[in-house]
Every structure is written in C-alpha cells, then in structure tokens.
Chains A and B, each alone.
Chain A
C-alpha cells in the first residue's frame, strides 16, 4: 500500500516546505495550541537555532515560552524534567545528537522512569529534539546516530522522520504524547532528500511528494510505519536519511522491493514489519549508525524470531562501520549505494 498523497490524508491545503520549515511549523502550531509548550536549548531563542528550526518563535511567543539556555545538556534535560513535573510540556533542543550524552543520566534515569517509579504520579511529557546523522562532513561529533542508546531504554519513545510531511506530523504527535520522546532529525535531509550519491549536486525538497506539508494542525501517530514503496521481492527496513538512499539504490537496481520507513523505532510497528517480510521472504535492514548492538540488530532478531519460516535468505544489515565517524573518509564510511547494492545482490541471488 503506497501512502495516500498527503493532500488526501488531511483536509488542509498543503504547501511545499523543507524539513526545517516543517519542524518550525510543528513547533509554531503546538505553541499556539497549548500554552504549556515551552522551547528551550542552546541558541534556540533570539537567534532561532543554528539550523533555524526555531526561527521567529521567540518573537511570536515571548521569552517565557522560547528561551536560550546555558551550554549544559544535563541542565537542559534536567530542568525540562522538572518543568514537566510541574505540568508544562517542554520541547528541549540538543544542538547535535553527538552532544546529548551529558544529558543521558537525566533522560535514562529520570525522564524515562518518572512515570514508572512514581506509579504515574509524575510524568515527563518532554520531546527532546536533536539533529542527528552524517553525510555532511560533520566529523566525529556532528554526525553520530545514537538512536540505539535510546531504543534500549524502557520508557523512552524514539522517533525519526524522513520527510517534511512526516517531520511536522510526527513532531506534533511527539509533543502531544504523554511519554518522553527523543526526536532525531536527520540533518542531511533538512534541505533536501539525499540519495547517497555524494558527488552529485544536492537536490532541494521541491518536487518531492513528502515535501507537501498540510497547513495547520495534523498529527501522524507514533508507532506506525510508512510504506514508501510496495514490492514483493525484498523488504527494506529503514529510517531517516537512509530511506532516500535505499529508495534510489533499489530503483536503480530494478528490484521490486518493499521499502518501509519505520518512523518510530520504539514502539515499533511490528505488524508492518511482519506483514511485509512474510510477503517477500527477504529482509534488508539499513541504518547509518554503527553496526554492533545497533538498532539493526534488534530488527534482525525480531524478523528472525517472528518470520523465520518465511525467510528465504539470512537477514542482511547495512550499517555504518564500528568506528567513530571519520571526517575525510566520510564516503568510505557512509552506508551508501555500493554497500547497499552488494547486500541486495547477496539477498537476491538464488
């Protein structure tokens, strides 16, 4: 089932937006709808964010609702947890996912467990937005994909959009969700989809169906995958930037692949995964993050456990290498068309 065109999903008229603009709109919509929504983070206020995601919001909603913070991720997330305990709905930004670690204790030990340990007395409905992923010559500390650190934590939802349309709808859903959500934004595709061909000129979102973004309020339920392309030969489980890379490579190779953009990693849309693998009998998992104990391992294990008798080949994983993200050798590291192509060839040979 190919996703309905956005315009028919929602009644509102759509506009052409890039992912930054879509995220900015989601924040704008939620700030206007709910006076408890507050935005905080390094450079998010007056300046509007280093990626412009919060541009204009402080002017519109005031410094009490959108404000700059000290450079202290522990403080940003810790304060957000306290604000949430009060009754606000904070949307803290961590400037790069690579810098989320100082806030990890507050996320893992506190935000994720507040509801459980207090038996629901206190909750942490916070949405931590953070640009993640590589492909931008970001080197070691502007390229990481740490999603597996969060999918391993009971009590946190992990969401990763792959289009402007999804970014807005998923972010609105994340902010409305009463559980803590880590919302990773693939910065490589902020301004346009990326097919993995680093040597070609970059494309803008213009013309991509996923860039048609409805006006106003709409949400996309967390925990629901999106079928990017229907197919019968192979299931590709993918999210973020790699959705577009997978789409391009499989089209080029002429494989009738079913490409599933997971959108939410926890809770995972297991039905979509099972249904597809049972149909195709083959499964390819792709992510930018390093391989060992990456989220791909969880996906491969689930498919093996639940679809074993339908499998016609071992589940393949195409991932980043188990090294820190390099600078000059970025395109040797990035799981691009060649690495995906080899895996597809292995899967498709009789």
Chain B
C-alpha cells in the first residue's frame, strides 16, 4: 500500500486540542462599560480623495473613520460638506421629527393601537443625511430602520401611521406588518421582512438605470448583522462586475437583536473593509455625525452618477433602544452602553453645531420639539379616525386575495368566496 500523507490518526505530539471561538460581547447586563478600546480618530483627519479615484485608494477610509464634527462642535476637514445653516436646520428638524414619531408610535404599540413597532433612535443621522444627499428620484431600497428617509422626503406622517395601524386607509390594505412601508412615488422600495434581499435588488435597479442610460442611482441599506447574509455577497459581486451606479450602506449599530457585531465578523475587521475584496470603493463614517454621513453619501453618489461605480459605506453607530417592541435589550447588554456611547447622539451633535455657529438657540430647539410633538400628535389623531389595529376587519375580505397575481385565478376567486361566507358566520353584524 502506498504511503499517503500523514493525516488521520497520526499522533500530533503536544499540540493543544482545537478550540472553537464563540464571540462574546464585552459587556453584559449590569456590567461597567469602558469604551477605551474603541479607536475614534479626531474629526477632520482623513483626506477626501477625488471621487474618480481608484477603489483601492479608499482603503484607509475603510479602516479608519470619516468624521466632520469635532469635540468643539465645529465642522472641520476636507469632508466638511459646507452646508448652509438653513439646510442644517432642516436636517435637524427631520431628525427630531423622526425621533418624535418613533416615540409616539412606540407608545401607540404599548397602548395596543398596533401590534409592532421599531424605533431608529440614535441612527437618525444616517437616514436623514442620505435623503438630503441623494436626488429625490434616486431609488432607496431600505431595511426596516430607515423611516427617516420617508420622513425627510415629505411622505405624510398620516400615511405612515395608517400603515402602522393597518387601518382602513392603509395603502397596503392591512397586508403588511407595521413599518414595512412601500412608497414608490417617494423612491422608497417596498420593505421585506427577509433580511438583505433588497441589497441585490438595488444593484439590479441600478443596472437597469444604466441599461436605459438614465441618470438615477440606487441606494440600499442593511444592518451589520444582515451583512452576513449571502445576498450581501451577491450584491457586492454584481455591483462590482457591472460597475453598477449604487450606494450600498451597512448600518453598523453594534447589535443584531441580541447578537453583537462580533457574530457578523466585526472582531476581525471593519465592515467597510470588505469593499476592498470586491474592488469597490469603501468609506467608514461616524454614523452619528450627520455631516460626515452627508459628505460620504454625496461622494458615493457623485461617483456612481459619473459611471465610476459602486461604493460601500459603513455607518458606525449605536442602536440606542431595543431591537423592536418585542425586544428587551436589558436581557443581553449593559444599559450603560447607550448612555456612554462615545459618538454621542446625532441630534444633540447637530444641535450643538448649529449653536456653535450662532444659527440656533435653546429656545428655538425647545419650540421645535414642542411643534414636532404636536405635529405627530395631530397626525396620530387624524390616522386614528381611520381606525387602529385593535378594531380589526378594516378591509373588504376580497382585498386579501387581490394582488397575489395581476388577476385573480379561479382558485383565489373560490377562496375569496369562502372567506366571505365564513365572515357571515363569524361576524354576522359586520358590513364591508
């Protein structure tokens, strides 16, 4: 018998047994938080390469962090987008409105007006800066935590609440879980519960725009947790191969429900650094610095629009609240994490910047908050006129069977008739 290579059964001397590494977050409930290990470079340090640069030139920008707002609340460095105070105030307002909306809808879920809600607290800068930096007709393929984009683009709050309440005015006819909005006229693609599926779809949309010689670009969002899905790899490969005009965003908020970012690979490298392996430009930004996010998105959008290809942006932020209304983060992480987060709060940081510029005042801020709370309250009241989830039975039964296909095949017509028959037994008094 021929001698094979040494393998199975061969003694290995005194090598230690193999060990499986299962990542563990630094802090569990009740533990003291110390962010000393986090490398947060000072604002204004990183160069801003030309948008036409080779993808490989962005490597330093994927391992470090683009930051514009300094500790003194001044905008500094080559990435400062130089926005005028009026734009800054509008962005501040959109962020504050998103937070006010989240707070109100969260309470609405606790009051039983809807079954479910997901806040974006602490991550508002990412959505709002993206909406401001892109053109109104660029298509967004969002995950479930970019409500700030809809709000920035002026989508009516009442429509959002109608969807959350699944009421009779819900444009999605009560078919979708709350917050899974769809708003084609606002360039906001229908949200799916299946994570990361929108990433290759955005690339496809961008390819279509290129095929048609259009000027519009696409953008998409995943959380760092979902970046582990195969769809992420598919999207990055297709984006690179076809030089698709797309801006791909990873919102690294450190947590995927109860799993810390280490389970998506964060112990080894940054998420932005993955861009290099695909030959795509990459940027890693302070996701709580709205000016940095705006500048990065604008850079990537200009690059895409000039046929220079896709960009991956990692937004480094923190999910300040629970994953959803069905989640209690106190069960798996230290409450101090959010409080001590070294990148602060995106709303506070922009507010401080405007104050430092002399373009804002505490009184104006308080007045704005009161006004926005009233705006959300009024929208809620308006939406409640159309019913809340608890009232149920908002939509004619036949609508449950519509839009499965363009036209109802015989089997769906038969099942619709069955549902309507059952209704007469279950709810004899109910009228469509």
CA distance A83 to B197 in the complex (A): 14
Instruction: Please encode chain B, from 174 to 196, with 1 for each CB lying within 8 Å of some chain A CB and 0 for all others.
Output: 01100010111000011011100
CA distance A122 to B192 in the complex (A): 12
Q: Which of B191-232 contact A (CB under 8 A)?
A: 192-194, 197, 199-209, 211-212, 218, 230-231
Of A25-33, A52-60, A265-273, the one contacting chain B is A265-273
Q: List 13 A-B contacts (CB under 8 A).
A: A72-B233, A74-B200, A80-B204, A82-B205, A84-B204, A85-B204, A106-B231, A118-B184, A155-B404, A157-B405, A179-B405, A179-B406, A270-B411
Q: Is the CB of A87 within 8 A of B234?
A: no
Question: For A115, A118, A120, which residue has the most chain B Cβ atoms within 10 angstroms?
Answer: A118
Q: In the assembled complex, how far is the CB of residue B165 from the closest CB belonging to chain A, in whole angstroms?
A: 16
Which B residues contact A (CB, under 8 angstroms)? 139, 141, 171-173, 175-176, 180, 182-184, 189-190, 192-194, 197, 199-209, 211-212, 218, 230-231, 233-235, 237-238, 241, 403-406, 409-411
Q: Is the CB of B194 within 8 A of A109?
A: yes
Question: For A74, A79, A110, A122, which residue has the most chain B Cβ atoms within 10 angstroms?
Answer: A79
Chain A: which residue is nearest B400 at the CB level? A116
Q: Which of A111-169 contact B (CB under 8 A)?
A: 113-123, 154-155, 157
Q: Is the CB of A115 within 8 A of B405?
A: yes
**B410 — which chain A residues lie within 8 A by C-beta?**
267, 270
**How many interface contacts (CB-CB < 8 Å) are there between A and B?**
144
Question: For A78, A82, A102, which residue has the most chain B Cβ atoms within 10 angstroms?
Answer: A82
Q: Per a CB cutoff under 8 Å, which of B193, B194, B204 touches A82? A: B204
Q: Per a CB cutoff under 8 Å, which of B190, B193, B201, B206 touches A78? A: B201
CA distance A147 to B266 in the complex (A): 40
**A105 — which chain B residues lie within 8 A by C-beta?**
194, 197, 231
Q: Is the CB of A78 within 8 A of B197?
A: yes
CA distance A252 to B205 in the complex (A): 54
**B197 — which chain A residues lie within 8 A by C-beta?**
78, 105-106, 109-110
CA distance A85 to B211 in the complex (A): 14
Q: In the assembled complex, how far is the CB of residue B7 from the closest CB belonging to chain A, in whole angstroms?
A: 28
**A83 — which chain B residues lie within 8 A by C-beta?**
204-205, 207-208, 211
Q: Check if A178 is an interface residue, CB within 8 A of chain B.
A: yes
CA distance A88 to B403 in the complex (A): 19
CA distance A266 to B200 in the complex (A): 27
Q: Check if A38 is an interface residue, CB within 8 A of chain B.
A: yes
Q: Is the CB of B175 within 8 A of A116?
A: yes
Q: Is the CB of B208 within 8 A of A266?
A: no
Q: Check if A323 is an interface residue, CB within 8 A of chain B.
A: no
**B207 — which chain A residues lie within 8 A by C-beta?**
79, 82-83
Q: Check if A75 is an interface residue, CB within 8 A of chain B.
A: yes
Q: Is the CB of B411 within 8 A of A82?
A: no
CA distance A251 to B301 in the complex (A): 66
Question: For B208, B230, B231, which residue has the most chain A Cβ atoms within 10 angstroms?
Answer: B208
Q: Per a CB cutoff under 8 Å, which of A78, A113, A114 touches B204? A: A78
CA distance A62 to B96 in the complex (A): 49
Report the count of interface residues on A (CB-CB < 8 A). 47
CA distance A16 to B420 in the complex (A): 51
Q: Check if A198 is an interface residue, CB within 8 A of chain B.
A: no
CA distance A69 to B230 in the complex (A): 16
Q: Is the CB of A117 within 8 A of B175?
A: yes
Q: In the assembled complex, how far is the CB of residue B211 from the closest CB belonging to chain A, in whole angstroms?
A: 5
Chain A: which residue is nearest B180 at the CB level? A117
**B231 — which chain A residues lie within 8 A by C-beta?**
74, 78, 105-106
Which 10 pairs show the lowest CB-CB distances between chains A and B? A82-B204, A78-B200, A79-B204, A75-B234, A267-B409, A82-B201, A86-B208, A118-B190, A82-B205, A118-B182
Q: Per a CB cutoff under 8 Å, which of A70, A87, A268 touches B208? A: A87
Q: In the assembled complex, how far is the CB of residue A160 from the closest CB belonging to chain B, in whole angstroms?
A: 17
Given A82-B203, A102-B230, A267-B409: A122 in contact with B190 (beta carbons within 8 A)? yes
Q: Check if A238 is an interface residue, CB within 8 A of chain B.
A: no
Q: Is the CB of B200 within 8 A of A82?
A: yes
Q: Is the CB of A64 within 8 A of B211?
A: yes
Given A106-B197, A122-B190, 13 new contacts (CB under 8 A): A70-B237, A72-B233, A75-B234, A79-B234, A82-B201, A82-B208, A86-B208, A109-B193, A115-B405, A119-B182, A121-B183, A122-B184, A122-B189
**B139 — which chain A residues lie within 8 A by C-beta?**
85-86
